[in-house]
Amino acid sequence: MTDAGADVQGWTCPRCGGDGFVLDEAGDAVACQCRAARVRRARSMGWASVIPRKYRGASFERAPVNTLSQDIVRPVKRFVREIDQNIAKGRGLWLMGDVGTGKTTLAMIVSKAALSKGHSAAIYSVPRLLAEIRDTYDAAGHERSYAQFFEQLVSVDLLHLDDLGAERQTDWVLEQLYSLVNERWEAERSILVTTNLTEVEELEQQIGKRTVSRLTEMTDQLPLYGPDLRESFDSTRSALG
């Protein structure tokens, strides 16, 4: 079990040194200011807070991000520099562009930065998230209920939704997406989104006008354009033998 003041990503609270408690003027142990946040993070561990293995080494200095235009990378770097303020204000980031333009890698860098600063995060592809929501309908009494899962999704500091728009659209899907986004909007909680859909009409048709409206208000939108970086990387690797 992780200590309250120590982060699995390497961050340690400078005030309590990772213990989760400090001494007050009378010499009694009291909870450190970091403890509440760390407890929230500990509760979220094991249900999507871990960066996927493929992206654990992602950084601004490594491919494919170091091949992107600075016009694209600069706003993400600024968001990462101000990650504490953005999360405190409930500001988010919405990355949109074609397949292979670096959206997911950039988003993972943002989530890594949030985790390294001691914030809780939940990372999901939207199809997987919807599947987990459905699973709660069949949960036994001792398992996580829909209400419990939804509360976790609303209360986590940063909700990272990858591949929004890849889900099959139904009235149920539209209802779930709007409910989740709207609840986070009302609670002023940060959201991080990637999508292959770049036209407003496409987005509204796929996820609903109300959800698009909420996301637009909650986030800074960043369009990504260019060739499929994965195809370029595969071609270079083939050429090298």
Do 41 and 51 lie in one domain? The reply is no
- What CA–CA distance (Å, rounded) separates 5 from 118? 9
The answer to whether residues 128 and 32 belong to one domain is no
Q: Which CATH number characterizes residue 93's domain?
A: 3.40.50.300
Residue 157 CB partners (closer than 8 Å, separation 6+): 37, 40, 41, 87, 114, 119, 120, 121, 189, 190
Whether 52 and 90 map to the same domain: the answer is: yes
Do 1 and 84 lie in one domain? The reply is: no
170 and 69 housed in the same domain: yes
Do 79 and 198 lie in one domain? The reply is: yes
pLDDT at 194: 96
How do the pLDDT tens digits run along the chain, 241 residues long? 333 333 434 456 777 765 566 777 776 666 677 766 655 555 444 444 578 889 989 999 998 899 999 999 999 999 999 999 999 999 999 999 888 789 999 999 999 999 988 889 999 999 999 999 998 887 666 667 889 899 989 999 999 999 998 888 899 999 999 999 999 999 999 999 999 988 888 889 999 999 999 999 999 999 997 555 444 434 433 433 3
Specify whether 67 is located in the same domain as 135: yes
Residue 126 contacts residue 164 (beta carbons within 8 Å): yes
- Same domain for 12 and 66, yes or no, is no
DSSP 3: -
Indicate if 209 and 96 belong to the same structural domain. Answer: yes
What is the count of structural domains for the chain?
2
| Residue 15 and residue 53 in one domain | no
pTM of the full predicted structure?
0.75
